Structure 1
Amino acid sequence: MLEVSSCMKVSHFSLRMFASLLVVTLGLCYCRTDSNQTFLGIPQLFGPSEALLGEIVVFKCVMPNHPKNESVLLQLYNKDNDKRLGESTSLSGEAGTFTLLIKLSHEGNLECLARAQNNSHTMPTVSRTHRLRVVDVVSAPDISFTVLKEDSYNYSAVVTCESTIGTLPVTFSLYNRTELVANVTSDNRRAIFKLPLVLDQYSGELQCNADNGAQVAHSQWLPLEVVSVGGPVTMHYDSDIGENFAVIGLRLYCKVAKGSHPRYQWFLNKTLLHDKGSFYYVVDQPPEQSILLLSVGRSSAGTYHCQVSDSFDNTTAISSWEQYLDKEVLNRPPVYVVAVVFGCFTALILLVSVCCIGVVYNRGLEMERRVVAYEGELDLREYGEDAGVVRSARGGEFDQTSEASADEWP
């Protein structure tokens, strides 16, 4: 027991000695550090709390207690992303100036760090954080509307205003010409308004304004008018030709005479075709027209037609005429082509016949002319001989008469 007690006393004494030595060592270290190091004053950061994207702004960092004969490096940091935005050197207490072309990465908590350049024993100091909000200006909103059928006689226009960029929140205001219809503040750059609507009646023009505190942007003017579908529905097609001059593809076009919000539907053998199938693809371009792309084959053969109705009311459907299409029909020459070819061939035969008859007739006339000429030449020869005799006789008489006349002169 005595040995154990002695050992415990020795252990307690050793622990006390070690603790005392540790305290003394730490105290000496603290005193040495405190005696060799100095502290800069706390810098102060000044600048705007809000800036537009692309704007040029200036921040300043001021040292209230600038150490004498000490060069201080001032650095501007974004604490949120640990990005250095600029630095400046202060030689005798002048403020550090930082000129920034505002970017999205500048938004956040900014700090100014002060560091002595020529004294490693001087501890750096940091300013209080300065919050900067970058305003990403709101873009001109897009405006559109759809029609909602409330009941058999009442309709509404559901107007959507949406901007693609802009710092939130954004306040949207809807105007009908100069009259303010409604406004709403949005956290997703999108607002929806609901207005009463009368079909087939012009109800003015709508414009949407977007404001996020930095700038007010305006949409284009949108006429508030809904024209019901009406008039005939026309359908036609053109084709794509393969290497062997066979039809391999078709484009069917469907168009309605009038209607501002039409819905087009295609049918094959009175079965509704959806947007895409194994041999077809529907390309909608409302309100102008709808296009059905087809690959010609066994599965695409059949009778096609299109149907148009108001997108908000199925009771107004109008159908086009029906068109039967298959590979054999498409590659068969049209009747008018056959008629034109046959007519051209007949005309060619007639032309050749007339030419041949003309040649034969001309040759006959030439032969007849030659025969007549030959016979005439023979007659002239015979007549020429008789004429010579007559001329000789008459010449003698003339001479005699002349001589007699000469004797009668005095």
Structure 2
Amino acid sequence: MSAPNSDYDPVEVTPLHPDEVARMRDEAVQAVAGAGTLAELKQVRIDHAGDRSPLALANREIGALPPQARKEAGQRVGQARGAVAQALAGRTAELEEVEAARILAEETVDVTLPPIAEPVGARHPVTTISEHVADIFVAMGWEVAEGPEVEAEWLNFDALNLGPDHPARTMQDTFFVDPAAAAMVLRTHTSPVQARTMLTRTPPIYVVCPGRVFRTDELDATHSPVFHQVEGMAIDEGLTMAHLKGTLDHFAQAVYGDGMTTRFRPSYFPFTEPSAEMDLLCYVCHGEPDLVATCRTCRGEGWVEWGGCGVVNPRVLTACGVDTDRYTGFAFGIGLDRTITGRYDIADLRDLFDGDIRFTQPFGSDL
């Protein structure tokens, strides 16, 4: 085996020649000085101080030298690379100072100008009143129940004492879902939620059910095929119409303020017996004799229609597995959309569903 070449001249490795190292150093320093922006300086850093720069490649050649020549060559290349790094640091500081001065000059903000106020968002009144109603009943110890909008026909009709021949089951009022054999409909009221609750819970039951419902009505100023209801149901021992009246009076006062009350007018609903139409004391004139005659809200009646209610029909309780010898109950339902349009004198129901933020903006984040 031959011994190392101790007579190897490092000058013969061209990149390590003192003149060549000095040339690469001077070329790099000149390029640094000529960079006019930080972006240009970044490219100079890559070209003259990066892993593929001439000085970096020359540094790799040091390993090819004999041991006694490596020290001198290493010092020569290291000093050159140090000079380039020092030049880069100095030029970077200069250009950063120039850039900062440019930003201060071109992007100055006049802090004395009045601020541009961003518009405050608003919640939809239907959402707000639904949550408000739910909060009222939760405070009374009730629970909020929800159910699917695509509902089984049996739960939407049969369980609620609406027989096969009832007119509400025709195509005139109900959206039926294909295929017909599936016996599914878009729920026409939130009462199926009450039926589901009775089928899965043991009394006592106190639930309120807000939600969206569907009927085949024309879309006009006073009707919509999609609208919102809130229904309540209580099943317990000894419940009567008196409990229903007290609940609704408290509900009216929580929504419209002290002094509000309700009245019942005899009516008929398949799922309650006895049944009543529920009227609310006019929230504008409050039935006062000197105001009621000219009140446009109640049209001189002193009362406005609010919804339907009654004692739960024993047939409904039986269909849902509730012992009618032990339990009775009451139920009620109101239209949330009509409540809003009446309370705020909104002439066109379609305004609730158009999605125009100019309509919801006045309601703010509370109702």
Select the structure that is richer in helix.
Answer: 2
Q: Which has the higher contact order (CA 8 A, sep 6+)?
A: 2
TM-score norm. by structure 2 comes to 0.25
Select the structure that is richer in strand.
Answer: 1
TM-score norm. by structure 1 comes to 0.23
